[in-house]
Each structure stands twice: as C-alpha cells, then as structure tokens.
C-alpha cells in the first residue's frame, strides 16, 4: 500500500458532534493505496499546506500512478440507507483535501453504516425506526470530511519504510521534514510552544 509515493496502509480518525448537534460519533477507517511516485507526491496536502511539492523528490516512482482507496464510515446517528449514501459521498471531499482528485484507474470504494435502529433486520412484524431529519445532517457531513482527511494522513504517518523483493523500497513519509514544512506555514501545533 502506498499513497502519494510513500508507504501507507490503514488509517483511522473519528469525530464526536457537539451536544447541540446530537452528540453522535463518526468513525472513519481508510485503506489508502493511491497516487504513486513523484508525480503523485507533488499532490499531497496536509492541513492545506502543499507539503508534497517539497517532498516529491523523496518519493520513489511506481509502475502505476494510480491505486485505490477504501473508506469505511461508521456512525451511531440514526440514519436511513439513503442518508448513509449521502454521508458516504462526502468522503470524497476529505480525499480532495489531501490533494487527491481520483483518477480513471482508481478503484475507490466508500461505505457508510449506522449502529442505530437495532433490530431493523428482523424478518417478521413491523419495526419502529428513528431517523435524523435531513436538515440536521450537515454536522455529520463536516465530521466525515474532516475524519476522512485525517485518516488518510494517519495512514501515511503510521506507516514506515518497507523493503520488498527485488530490492524494492517504499519510503515512509519523512515526518521531520513534514513537521518543518508545517512549522513554516504556521500550521503545526506543538505542546509547550
């Protein structure tokens, strides 16, 4: 697994909505495998900063420039299937915040589910359901966008250099250099500073 020319893989992130918005939780898990090589590395953005432009020379070239991403979204908000479909579509905006636009060869998959309405799958009788009105879903959209972006970055930050067969090397994201770049853009929050 690689993203933006660096070693990647599984990343996670979550958000909890304010009590006024229902206090619902949103969790995102990604399997990131996208944008290989220096060309893809140039696209990487972290906290809105174009860090990839400075890191592109460190990324190793891949045979395929595109890959795929799986985004799994879980929430305890009472959403019906059509609302979950809308929620899943918002993951693409989180993907875009990292610099990715998706490409023709991408095999992107976005899935959302809710843990609300237990027993909704019973086979007999009627089932009472609760749902969040459409007018109250925007905070969940915002949560999914932010958590997807963060989960992708998490997949890069958590990964380490990997050496494979034939002497192939997939470098990890150079975290010290990323910190330095973010510091220059005044985007790094450091404890005690």
The per-residue pLDDT for range 128-167, each reduced to its tens digit, is: 889 999 999 999 999 999 999 999 999 999 999 889 888 8
Number of domains composing the chain: 1
The CA distances from residue 48 to 22, 131, 152, in Å, are 29, 34, 14
Range of the domain at 95: 2-116+133-184
61 catalytic per annotation? no
Catalytic residue among 14, 21, 68, 142: 68
HEC secondary structure over 15-41: EECCHHHCCCEEEEEEEEEECCHHHHH
182: pLDDT strictly greater than 90: yes
Q: Is residue 124 part of a domain?
A: no
The per-residue pLDDT for range 7-43, each reduced to its tens digit, is: 999 999 999 999 999 999 999 999 998 765 556 788 8
108 catalytic per annotation? yes
Q: Is residue 174 part of a domain?
A: yes
Catalytic residue among 108, 121, 155, 165: 108
Q: Is residue 29 part of a domain?
A: yes
What pLDDT does 56 receive?
76
What pLDDT does 33 receive?
85
CATH code for position 40: 3.60.70.12
Residue 117 near residue 129, CB atoms below 8 Å: yes
CB neighbour list of residue 5: distance below 8 Å, 6 or more residues apart:
35, 36, 37, 38, 39, 40, 41, 56, 58, 59, 60, 61, 62
114 catalytic per annotation? no
Q: Is residue 123 part of a domain?
A: no
pTM: 0.90
- Average pLDDT (74-95) is 96
Q: Is residue 126 part of a domain?
A: no
């Amino acid at each position: 697994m690689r993203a933006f020319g660096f070693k990647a893989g599984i990343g996670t992130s979550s958000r909890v909505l304010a009590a006024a918005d229902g206090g619902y939780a949103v969790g995102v898990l990604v399997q990131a495998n996208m944008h290989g090589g220096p060309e893809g590395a140039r696209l990487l953005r972290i906290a809105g900063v174009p860090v990839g432009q400075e890191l592109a020379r460190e990324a190793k070239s891949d045979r395929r420039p595109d890959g795929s991403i799986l985004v799994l979204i879980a929430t305890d908000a009472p959403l019906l299937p059509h609302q979950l479909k809308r929620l899943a579509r918002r993951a693409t905006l989180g993907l875009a915040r990292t610099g990715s636009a998706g490409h023709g060869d991408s095999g992107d998959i976005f899935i959302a589910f809710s843990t609300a309405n237990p027993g909704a799958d019973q086979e007999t009788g009627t089932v009472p359901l609760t749902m969040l009105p459409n007018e109250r879903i925007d905070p969940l959209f915002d949560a999914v966008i932010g958590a997807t972006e963060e989960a992708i970055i998490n997949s890069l930050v958590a990964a380490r250099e990997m050496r494979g067969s034939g002497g192939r090397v997939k470098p990890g994201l150079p975290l010290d250099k990323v910190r330095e770049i973010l510091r220059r853009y005044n985007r790094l929050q450091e404890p005690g500073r």
